[in-house]
Chain A
Amino acid sequence: MIRFIDVYKSYDNGTKALKGVSMRIDDGEFVFLVGPSGSGKSTIIKLITAEIAPSEGRLMVNGYNLNTIRPRQVPYMRRTLGVIFQDFRLIEKKSVYENLVFAMRAVGASPREIKRRIQYVLELVGLDSKGDRRPGELSGGEQQRVAIARALVNNPSMIIADEPTGNLDPQRSLEIMMLLEKINELGTTVLVVTHEKELVNRFDKRVVAIENGRIISDGTGGYYINETF
């Protein structure tokens, strides 16, 4: 569960990225976070992943109070999250399987756990026959599936996808969204940051819209309120 309570964030250069954001995402929800460039979407992601700290207000992520979290607790908080990036951020010199091993090794998983879990997530994302391929040998959609598998492999309670379809064609984008929907149906909370209006409108999900560091709408209906996004 994520709770933002009147959160403000100002950067050292004086930019006020968030101006009193309050929202709540419950376990098991699927939420789209939408907004124009510079609206504060990335700041929200960075706050949730504890890359930055809020300037004011309260922030809770999966039971961790990020206002008072100690640096040594941050890795354990991050293990409750799986993050997916627009540019996939896969390690090119490692195979699909090794990329997933790498993510599981990072949290100290045993070889037995690694073998069992990777097999499961590769099947889940439909790449069980491509474990030995390198990212460069895969299509963009497949690479993003690997990134999703990597985000899932440590069994997080929440997936955060930052523009996951930004580099994909409409058909691949839809497939990725459907995969995220499937993951959500299996019980994982999903937060998707995106610009893609048509894509958002195809799913009947909760949409949180942000502009100039403030939440301007929050509701279910599967559409953008502001056409300029």
Chain B
Amino acid sequence: MRHFSNLGYFFLEGFRSIFAHGLMSFAAICMIVCCLLIMGSFSLVAINLDDMWGTYEQQNEFLAFIDENYAQEDALALESTIEAVPNVSDAAFVSKEEAQADFAADKADNELFESLPATVFRDRYRIHVVDLEQLEQTVNQVAQIPGVVNISAAPEIAEGFVVVRNIASGVAIILVVALLLVSLFIITNTIRLATFNRRDEIAIMKMCGATNGFVRWPFVFEGLIIGLVGALAAFFLQWGLYTLIGQAIDSSDTIQLITVLPFQRLAGRVMAIFAGTGFVIGVGGSLLAIRRFLQV
């Protein structure tokens, strides 16, 4: 409990130590900034891709054709049954007439299709799913509903989306973990150097009766400050970098397909992740570094 009354002292000692080993502290902050920037850039690319894929997923639909012997009222009554199927996000009824009109609009350049009667078409539902990975299962369940006579779906496209997204997520996770480990290694070595330089002081403190906690706290604060300063610097650099790239993409004629989420929408999450990562590698690195020097 007494440690709490020494918080100011620990903070001051940690702060002083940063300047006592200014070059190493600067190097550690730079490395954390680099690692967070790379990690953040990959994560932001992944978030944007995810958002874009989310949009495409929304557009990925399948059609459930209704038995032509069903009157329109009976066909409309199936909506709640279809929407009750797990993974179905919404089911929109399309009547024979609307289907005919859509078809004719698609084939506007071919007069042959304009006079096609609506009775040739079936009532149908346009169905969107929540999770593309479960598309095939959902299609099978919808096909089991009495009154549904046929299904038109393209699961291979959905699978393609899933595979691409999974690969991107996998690569992003591996990179993030690797960069986290690199940051942890660097900060551990920085604090280890600081503790090595101060090993005599630590030995004196221990001989005077300092507890391990008392010896450890200033180094924990040092790591914490380094981690958080690195996180803050990385956040603002990331903001600038992201905005620049976003502006370049928006003003480009050739890459109009790509939409970039505004940074303001992501800033809170980025800040929280950077601060959390800075905290973990700062404090974790310090604790790892000092462990050996406490055994006096």
Q: A interface vs B, CB < 8 Å?
A: 49, 51, 72, 75-79, 81, 83, 89, 91, 102-103, 105-108, 110, 150, 154
Partner of B9, one of A78, A83, A105: A105
A10–B200 Cα gap in the complex (Å)?
26
- CB of A102 within 8 A of CB of B204, answer yes
Q: Which residues of chain A have C-beta atoms less than 8 A from B205's C-beta?
A: 102-103, 106
Q: Does B257 contact A (CB under 8 A)?
A: no
Contacts A78-B209, A106-B209, A107-B210: A91 and B204 contacting too (C-beta < 8 A)?
A: yes
- CB of B296 within 8 A of CB of A51, answer yes
Q: Which residue of B lies closest to A103 (CB)?
A: B208
Nearest Cβ in chain A — how far from B210, in angstroms? 4
- Given A49-B207, A106-B208, A110-B5, output 4 extra A-B contacts at Cβ < 8 Å: A78-B206, A78-B208, A91-B204, A150-B208
- CB of B201 within 8 A of CB of A72, answer no
Q: Which residues of chain A have C-beta atoms less than 8 A from B212's C-beta?
A: 75
Q: Which residues of chain A have C-beta atoms less than 8 A from B210's C-beta?
A: 75, 106-107
Q: Does B211 contact A (CB under 8 A)?
A: yes
| A-B residue pair count with CB separations less than 8 angstroms | 50
Q: Which residue of A lies closest to B1 (CB)?
A: A108
Q: Which residue of B lies closest to A160 (CB)?
A: B207
A78–B208 Cα gap in the complex (Å)?
6
A179–B75 Cα gap in the complex (Å)?
106
Nearest Cβ in chain A — how far from B13, in angstroms? 9
Interface residues of B in 199-243 (CB under 8 A from A): 200-201, 203-212, 214
Q: Which residues of chain B have C-beta atoms less than 8 A from A49's C-beta?
A: 207
Q: Which residue of A lies closest to B215 (CB)?
A: A106
Q: Which residue of A lies closest to B20 (CB)?
A: A93
A226–B70 Cα gap in the complex (Å)?
119
Nearest Cβ in chain B — how far from A86, in angstroms? 14
Contacts A105-B9, A108-B5, A108-B6: A91 and B201 contacting too (C-beta < 8 A)?
A: yes
- CB of B209 within 8 A of CB of A89, answer no
Interface residues of B in 267-296 (CB under 8 A from A): 296
Nearest Cβ in chain A — how far from B211, in angstroms? 5
Residue in B2, B9, B208 whose Cβ sees the most chain A Cβ within 10 Å: B208
Nearest Cβ in chain A — how far from B31, in angstroms? 27
Q: Which residue of B lies closest to A90 (CB)?
A: B204
Nearest Cβ in chain B — how far from A27, in angstroms? 19
A96–B9 Cα gap in the complex (Å)?
19
Nearest Cβ in chain A — how far from B7, in angstroms? 12
Q: Which residues of chain A have C-beta atoms less than 8 A from B211's C-beta?
A: 72, 75
- CB of A79 within 8 A of CB of B204, answer no
Q: Which residue of B lies closest to A156 (CB)?
A: B209
Q: Which residues of chain A have C-beta atoms less than 8 A from B208's C-beta?
A: 78-79, 103, 106-107, 150, 154
Q: Which residues of chain A have C-beta atoms less than 8 A from B6's C-beta?
A: 105, 108
Partner of A154, one of B3, B5, B209: B209
- CB of A79 within 8 A of CB of B209, answer yes
Interface residues of B in 159-217 (CB under 8 A from A): 200-201, 203-212, 214
Q: Which residue of B lies closest to A104 (CB)?
A: B208
Q: Which residues of chain A have C-beta atoms less than 8 A from B3's C-beta?
A: 108
